[in-house]
Amino acid sequence: MTNDLTTILYLLSGVLFILAIRGLSSPDTARTGNYLGISGMAIAFIVTIVNLDQNNLINWLLIISGISIGGLIGTYLSKRVAMTDMPQMVAALNSMGGMSAVLVAWAAFLSPGSFGLLINGFINTSSIIQMLLGILVGAITFSGSVIAFLKLQGLMTGSPIILPFRHIINILIFITILGLSTSMILDETGSHTFLFLLVTILSLLLGLLLIIPIGGADMPVVISMLNSYSGFAAAIIGFTLGNMALVITGALVGSSGAILSYIMCAAMNRSFFSVIMGGFGDEATSTQSNENKPVKIGSSDDAAFILKNASSVIIIPGYGMAVARAQNALKEMSDKLKAMGIKVSFAIHPVAGRMPGHMNVLLAEADVPYEEIFELSEINSSFPQADVAFVIGANDVTNPAAKNDTQSPIYGMPILEVENAKTVLFVKRSLGIGYAGIDNELFYRDNTMMLLADAKKMVEDISISL
């Protein structure tokens, strides 16, 4: 195949990837989009295979077995993962993306001739710079995503782990990486395998240190950010390999992740910088204690009675619903309410859950109609007309302190204004604080009834009492 034709076909697969993302603008076109994405991948794969030296059987065996092993693992994971565990899945996939970038950069470094990177027997300087950058970004993506995965999976504490002098340590590591890289770039003729390895290890360490101080509630930003890094790592490698599909895709994925990070930060009224510096939700626990204030605690029967007499109910799901896997029970309850002629809608805060769109996927799994689900800006004006706001496993995103308390760490964050509803039913496992470590004054309001139980159990009990 000529170089021109190869490049045109890689461009075609890049275009198909753009269309795959474009398809996600509506659930109706999304599946077609996914098929276009798969076709794009197939084209890139076939073009690469056709251009290979066709004679070596061992190479073919390696390629086929590698893809079979990866394909089987990937297929198995995708079939088995529960929808509630989707944030972990995305973190795991991100880490694979980062690792592939690191490994491909290494492959190119060890065997530059295969990629035509040699000038007078040595790797040309701009390729070295790209490989180093690819290693840096890829390795940070890998180790950062592994930490995010461990936190989301509960294998590691979700609260921030704060090391002393962490900013100074990170800066020192970064400067060391820069120094090593510069010495490699300046000395064009040396063999730098050891330095290259050192840069890889330090970058891995940096990724780890960057993510451990970031708490569970900030995971939507972290996951989006790592998603974006994995894209940029791919794009950088695309420069080294001179591959059109990789450059286009990397840019797409990079900007996608960056936009999602921005949306998540805006939804928390926090700067991207303050999120990645970490430590949020650690120091705020000392705000004045509300332990002695009276709280109205209700049973499932009380809740069922209130719901039965309502004419309009808004349900606000949060991470607690995902943890309790209560989405199907919730759908059943909302069906019962609808059968009684009660209007039911769902309100989703952008940062509810652990990743962008987490709640939407869970509600879709439970078969909640798309038209019943509303975003923050669409539904906030409806709360004053609602009889019941049913908060299930969401806390910080409903906390009025974000509007009234200038001292609060979440002050200024746009919230779902559930306190404007006639009655607030608040399903929560205990009276503990939310992930941001802030007490919620909503608990102590006259029109709030706390339903303290496992979310799934409580919703099932309410359904029975209805």
Which of 169, 168, 165, 177 shows the shortest CA–CA distance to 137?
A: 177
Cβ atoms of 347 and 313 closer than 8 Å: no
Nearer to other proteins, 45 or 175 (CB): 45
Nearer to other proteins, 54 or 292 (CB): 54
Tell me the C-alpha distance between 466 and 390, whole Å. 15
Nearer to other proteins, 40 or 393 (CB): 40
Nearer to other proteins, 276 or 364 (CB): 364
CB of 47 to other proteins, least distance (A): 8
CB of 462 to other proteins, least distance (A): 23
What the block records as the tokens of 27 is 């659930």
CB of 67 to other proteins, least distance (A): 5
Cα dihedral 316, 321, 326, 332 in deg (nearest 10): 10
Tell me the C-alpha distance between 102 and 367, whole Å. 40
Cβ atoms of 102 and 139 closer than 8 Å: yes
Residues annotated as catalytic (active site), given as ranges? 396
Say which residue the tokens 């607030």 belong to. 424
| In 51-85, alpha helices (H) | 57-80
Nearer to other proteins, 179 or 190 (CB): 190
CB of 323 to other proteins, least distance (A): 17
Cβ atoms of 282 and 166 closer than 8 Å: no
Cβ atoms of 153 and 95 closer than 8 Å: no
Query: Which stretches of 68-147 are assigned E, i.e. beta strand?
Result: 118-119, 122-123
CB of 313 to other proteins, least distance (A): 20
Nearer to other proteins, 357 or 400 (CB): 357
Which of 80, 81, 153, 84 shows the shortest CA–CA distance to 325?
A: 84
Tell me the C-alpha distance between 196 and 192, whole Å. 6
CB of 328 to other proteins, least distance (A): 12
